[in-house]
Structure 1
Amino acid sequence: MSTSASVYDIIIIGCGPAGIAAGLELRKYSSIPNFLILEARDRTGGRVYTDTHTFNSSQPVDLGARWIHHYRPENPLAVYYTPSDKDQIHDHFPYGTNNAFFDIDGTRLSESFIIEGKKITEVLCENVKQGLPEKYDVSIYDGIREKHEEIQDDQMRRLVDMNLGFIEQFEASNLDQISAKSYSTLELESDISDLALYTGFGRFIQQIVAQHPLPIQLNTIVTNIDIPSDKNEPIRITTKDNRHYLTKYVLITIPLGCLKAGSIKFTPSLPDWKQNAIDQMGFGLFNKIFIQFPSTFWDEKFDNIIVTSNSFRFFICNPHDHMLTSVVCGDFARKLEQQTDEQIIEQIVQSLKPIYPQIPKPTKWLITRWGSDQFVYGAYSNFKVGATYETLKALAKECYDDRVYWAGEHTNYGGNIGCVDSAFESSQREIKRVYNKLNQISN
């Protein structure tokens, strides 16, 4: 079955932030190319989604991205958003007075002990690249292993491991998987201005789509892309329900996890250099566990509850709605995805009991499982062992005689990766290049 006999100028695969940004960029031109966005889900937004139904809550919950990272005038999202006085600037390293640190036995850690652990962690991170072999890469953990093993006090080791957990959370992967050579503390140490949206990041993205009508086709799972050897022949796109589309150019914006899983079959096969880059780049997992209780049993002044555990370490507090949000990542998050909701919730309750013996039974919960989601298979990209800046550039490089282009947070070699603004920036870059190609043909 052929859906359309017409040939599009460009078809965009995926309507997450990168696909949306591509459409917005195309609409800026005085002569708008004939384009279409194909989205596998029954909604737009991809990994940016706000749930407004699960909880009887005045504050919606973001299941994926929560913050506009690097919020400043140059941010490509800033032009679409006017901050509310209810929005919050988020602190990724919560050492302030409104955050409580506990050991696994429920003991509240002293400020002096916390500061000492923070200093030890900083020294470990500063020395992560010292003594690394020149010819090959190792993991961050291998880079700090020797110094880490010198920590004799068990409680201090747990505190340092919890601090290192901030890096794992930031990268969505375990330290033994993250590249020591490509790791940089620059972003972690900079004054990050990350804006948490009161109404929800997913809602904001939906508003952008509503205000800028785009030719989007939902429930359209692309399975095959056939690129003919004759450049004058159109590219043929086939969907799971056997629809077909013809186009001059394609922009692939699907998540790196789907590329790794081979969700789309390319004919002829992807060039080796492209497939190698897909295989080499890291793609982490970050999940959230929202738990609502009948009452707020913790100190309402707390913004975060942090535990020196090797499992459930970080809890974001929302006393107004009697909610705690546990965030988990990497191997532990993958392990949890194999368990039932009830098993996970019971583990969390047991982990908090040493701190709060009278913790009540939760009334409602919501658990994300991005690793099991067939339209993403994870959270966001990072530099795993062996991945470099050149890997990132290869992920972004066009192929098939410059007819297939690539965008998404995992391709943003000109800036940061792993963020919604990264996805926007990458699509703005690629659409300019495709548009120039179309003009060359028309001229």
Structure 2
Amino acid sequence: METFKQLRQINPGSKPHVGIVGAGLSGLRCADILLQHGFQVTIIEGRNRIGGRLCQARLGNGHLVDMGPNWIHGTDDNPMLDLAKQTETAVGTWDVASYVFNESGDLLPVAEGEKYSSLVWDIIQDAFVHSNKSSADIDAKLSLLDFFKEKVVEKIPESEDDFEKKREMVLKMSEMWGTFIGSPVDRQSLKFFWLEECIEGENLFCAGTYEKILQEVSRPALSNATIKLDSIVDKISCRTDPNDETRVRLKNGQALTFDELVITCPLGWLKQNLTAFDPPLPPVLTKAIGSIGYGCLEKVYISFPKAFWLPAEGEGRRVHGFAQWIAPEYHAENARGWNQELVELASIAPEAAHPTLLFYIYGEQSEYLTAKVAEIDGQENKDAFLLDFFKPYYSRLPQYSEDSADCQPVCCLATNWVRDELAGHGSYSNFQVGLSNGDEDIKTMRRGLPEHGLWLAGEHTAPFVALGTATGAYWSGESVGKRIAEAYDMAKQNEPLDAAA
């Protein structure tokens, strides 16, 4: 079979030129692989920085936090964990009970909260098993919530005291799944729930942030690739003949040409910019892009002078790790009863710990809060609104006192991906009710259009065990880089080429 180099009549002494749109994890890793194999690489990035959705910012008290990924999903052969160890990035987890606040804002006894949490995770594991085993036979209209409604009856029989109340609590707690995918549990496809399974092992919180990991991944590209920042693409032209070049037009009118082009833009950007492709993408690819869901997970960090929720041993109740507020009836701004989940950052990885609460929001609540904040003038007023919104939650933590200086927030910081055009107005691919060919759609995007010089990478094209994760973005860029090297017969001798699963 002829290689691309032969078909495109590349001179033996020249370097094929690959353009990469997007300087996130996938684009940077792809650049690294291509540079190792002797390609000329140009990265086109719309922002004034590298990293894409993987970026950090400083709280007002000086602590660095991640605005994008917080977690390393799975520890078995995960390159993100390897990079964390290599860069001495602090990671950790909370081996603690579940802290659950009921509708009235009362903290349940730990044993009761743990029982409900265990039931929720048991049903989620049952759903993974069912989806893996019977995906072909599951109605595309069924959601994860539908499965919960069926299974909770089995888990909590009528013979139990207050069985209806207990079932209702489990169903309300099931909404926590939205913080994993950025969309409500009633939108999660049961048929393709198996695509949400991650690498085996623990989920570790990246307490030291992804900063040093990003520095390490970007080092080859920063040293040896051309990186064009503040360069927004508005037209992409695939080749129609083997000896054509792929062409990119920037919003400033500049035209660039390449032998191959790798698009690593977020799925949300692809969905909203299909008209940028000329000629249009084939229907099978546009269908795949349109079929996979896109979430809107946001984060709000609130810091305090001291972690008042972690008193000295024996001096009061503690909330350690995760906490969840169920359908609050006492929150005037939360009339729709959105659940609220947080992790506290004061008791993980001592070298990176700080007295901060991290609130996760998603779906309608993300859209509501980001829209409200956008209407407010001045950063001080925006922060004041957010602190007021989350006060009904943090004021119910143990040891909170309105009169204590330790309980008064010193700063806050919120993400705004849902209003970010380059992020595609959201974050992370997911699999929603009605999806009929989710795995094939992922494969279609993963394949791209190599015969037309167009390749796709990003967390939405990752191996199935890493979809929607930083690891997935990294692996997808690596895979495309190796596939291009193989196509040009420039792969290193005896180097295995990954076949994304």
TM-score of the two chains, using structure 2 as the length reference = 0.76
Residue 73 of structure 2 corresponds to 69
Which residues of structure 1 form unaligned runs of 5+?
A: 1-5
TM-superposed deviation, 1:121: 2.5
**Identity over the aligned pairs, expressed in percent?**
23
Residue 26 of structure 1 corresponds to 34
TM-superposed deviation, 1:9: 2.1
Contact 1:389 1:413 in 2 (8 A): no
Q: 2:287 aligns with which of 273, 276, 283?
A: 276
CA distance in 2, matches of 1:110, 1:185: 35
TM-superposed deviation, 1:221: 0.5
CA distance in 1, matches of 2:42, 2:89: 36
Residue 252 of structure 1 corresponds to 263
* Superposition pairs of residues 86-101 of structure 1, within 5 angstroms: 87-91=90-94, 96-97=96-97, 100-101=99-100
For this pair of structures, how many residues does the alignment match? Answer: 425
* Superposition pairs of residues 36-75 of structure 1, within 5 angstroms: 36-52=42-58, 54-57=59-62, 59-72=63-76, 74-75=77-78
Residue 173 of structure 1 corresponds to 183
* Superposition pairs of residues 176-255 of structure 1, within 5 angstroms: 176-184=186-194, 187=197, 190-194=200-204, 196-198=206-208, 200-210=209-219, 213=223, 214-255=225-266
Code of the aligned partner of 2:412: W
User: Structure 1 192/296 Cα, relative in aligned 2: closer, same or farther at 3 Å?
Assistant: closer
TM-superposed deviation, 1:439: 3.2
CA distance in 1, matches of 2:15, 2:253: 17
Query: 1:136-162 deviations in whole A, cap 9, x for unaligned?
Result: 442212333355589866763564245
CA distance in 2, matches of 1:406, 1:292: 39
TM-superposed deviation, 1:299: 2.5
TM-superposed deviation, 1:187: 3.6
CA distance in 2, matches of 1:268, 1:186: 33
Code of the aligned partner of 1:56: N
CA distance in 2, matches of 1:76, 1:395: 23
User: Structure 1 144/312 Cα, relative in aligned 2: closer, same or farther at 3 Å?
Assistant: closer
1:390 paired with 2:444, answer: no
Residue 110 of structure 1 corresponds to 109
CA distance in 2, matches of 1:244, 1:84: 38
Q: 2:391 aligns with which of 345, 349, 362?
A: 349
Q: Which moved more, 1:18-27 or 1:325-334?
A: 325-334
Residue 318 of structure 1 corresponds to 345
Contact 1:411 1:417 in 2 (8 A): yes
Residue 334 of structure 2 corresponds to none
Residue 304 of structure 1 corresponds to 322
CA distance in 1, matches of 2:50, 2:142: 38
Contact 1:285 1:330 in 2 (8 A): yes
* Superposition pairs of residues 423-438 of structure 1, within 5 angstroms: 423-438=473-488
User: Structure 1 186/282 Cα, relative in aligned 2: closer, same or farther at 3 Å?
Assistant: closer
CA distance in 2, matches of 1:325, 1:135: 36
Contact 2:148 2:171 in 1 (8 A): no
Q: Which moved more, 1:263-272 or 1:142-151?
A: 142-151
Identify the structure with the greater helix proportion.
2
Contact 1:49 1:203 in 2 (8 A): no
CA distance in 2, matches of 1:269, 1:186: 30
Which residues of structure 2 form unaligned runs of 5+?
A: 1-13, 157-161, 312-317, 328-336, 347-352, 374-381, 491-501
TM-superposed deviation, 1:306: 2.7
CA distance in 1, matches of 2:464, 2:112: 40
CA distance in 1, matches of 2:107, 2:82: 44
Residue 314 of structure 2 corresponds to none
Contact 1:7 1:245 in 2 (8 A): no
User: Structure 1 306/83 Cα, relative in aligned 2: closer, same or farther at 3 Å?
Assistant: farther
Query: 1:94-153 deviations in whole A, cap 9, x for unaligned?
Result: 6x24x5332233422123322432354245435655999656442212333355589866
Q: Which moved more, 1:284-293 or 1:82-91?
A: 82-91
Q: Over aligned residue pairs, what C-alpha RMSD do you find?
A: 3.1
User: Structure 1 293/81 Cα, relative in aligned 2: closer, same or farther at 3 Å?
Assistant: closer
User: Structure 1 220/35 Cα, relative in aligned 2: closer, same or farther at 3 Å?
Assistant: same
CA distance in 2, matches of 1:123, 1:77: 27
User: Structure 1 85/439 Cα, relative in aligned 2: closer, same or farther at 3 Å?
Assistant: closer
Contact 2:101 2:107 in 1 (8 A): yes
* Secondary structure of the structure 1 residue equivalent to 2:277: strand
CA distance in 2, matches of 1:374, 1:325: 24
Contact 1:162 1:307 in 2 (8 A): no
TM-superposed deviation, 1:220: 0.8
Residue 6 of structure 2 corresponds to none
User: Structure 1 223/338 Cα, relative in aligned 2: closer, same or farther at 3 Å?
Assistant: same
User: Structure 1 415/297 Cα, relative in aligned 2: closer, same or farther at 3 Å?
Assistant: closer
1:144 paired with 2:148, answer: yes
Q: Which moved more, 1:42-51 or 1:115-124?
A: 115-124
